[in-house]
Amino acid sequence: MKLIADSGSTKTDWTLLHDTGLRNEDVVVVSFKTQGITPVHQSPAEIRQILAQELMPQLSTFSRAQLVNSKILESPLLSNIQVFFYGSGCTPAHVPMMKQMLDEVFSPKTVEVYSDLMAAARALCGHDEGIACILGTGANSCLFDGEKIAQNTPALGYVLGDEGSGAVLGRLFMNAIFKNTQFASIRDTYLAETKMTLPSIINKVYREPLANRFLASTASFIHEHLDYEPLRDLVVSNFRTFFQHNLIQYQRRDLPVHAVGSIAFHFQDELREAAEQEGFFLGTILSAPMEGLVKYHQ
């Protein structure tokens, strides 16, 4: 059995696979969710609680009898299980702690813990060379050599970096609607639809937690109004800056640029336009990495 996890700060997606022993013929037994697990922000006690109270009950729902009757499994559910955990916050300093937590719960045959960037690289590139990008609330990228991350431009977060992300797109949008008269009509539409005001926006960005999520939440409004050319240009410009500040450092315009994340997925046309303008070409685009991770681990 193989248990694959893709974890962010909000939620963790889990997929359980049964290894048939035949190449590319693993069976997806079940997929489910728990709250997010991020060892950089959570204590061992908090992670243990999530695993014990949210993960294990869902696994136990699928009894040995049910699986045997489905001819999927002929041994206990968790025997010889291999766990592959990918997550934000799984930095080299926090990998040992996360591995220990999983070892305690499963006593599995194998536990491997990787960053969300490795999840993106494996999901998008498989075993091939390529440039893998995360474009969601935040942004990141790497040069992947087919086995490991060969080079990474530091993302630096939405204050200092994260070009191409939803949070930066929201920051650019807010700046434009309040400082550029060209965006006056869009500003009025946005404020009317969201019931926001300039003071409430300032409060959310500077006084409330998770300002990056609030800024990224503007992406849905932006997507609905892409017929307004200046707004579409803003999206393309955000992506072009991402290429200029991050991908150009890899000096590999010969490789396809793959991307995963809600921003990449919903703004594919604008991302493709930006790539072409910067001399790159797009490959695979996914909304989330799990589909690619399942293929990789098969």
**DSSP per-residue letters across the chain:** -EEEEEE-SSEEEEEEEE--SSTT--EEEEEEEEE---TTTS-HHHHHHHIIIIIHHHHHTS-HHHHHHTTS-SS-TTTT-EEEEEETT--TTTHHHHHHHHHHHH--SEEEEEEHHHHHHHHHHTTS-EEEEEESSSEEEEEE-SSSEEE-----HHHH--TTSHHHHHHHHHHHHHH-GGGHHHHHHHHHHHT--HHHHHHHHHTSS-HHHHHHTHHHHHHHTTTSHHHHHHHHHHHHHHHHHTGGGG--TTS-EEEESHHHHHTHHHHHHHHHHTT--EEEEESSSHHHHHHHH-
> Over the stretch 69-116, which tens digit does the pLDDT of each residue have?
444 344 445 557 889 999 888 888 889 989 988 888 877 678 899 999
Which amino acid makes up residue 19? Answer: D
Distance CA 3, CA 7 (A): 13
The contacts of residue 146 (CB under 8 Å, 6+ apart) are: 125, 127, 128, 129
Q: Name the token pair of 128.
A: 């091939």
Residues of the chain with pLDDT under 70: 19-26, 62-79, 108
What is the model's pTM?
0.85
**Predicted pLDDT of residue 23:** 62
| Percent with pLDDT over 70 in the chain | 91
**Predicted pLDDT of residue 39:** 83
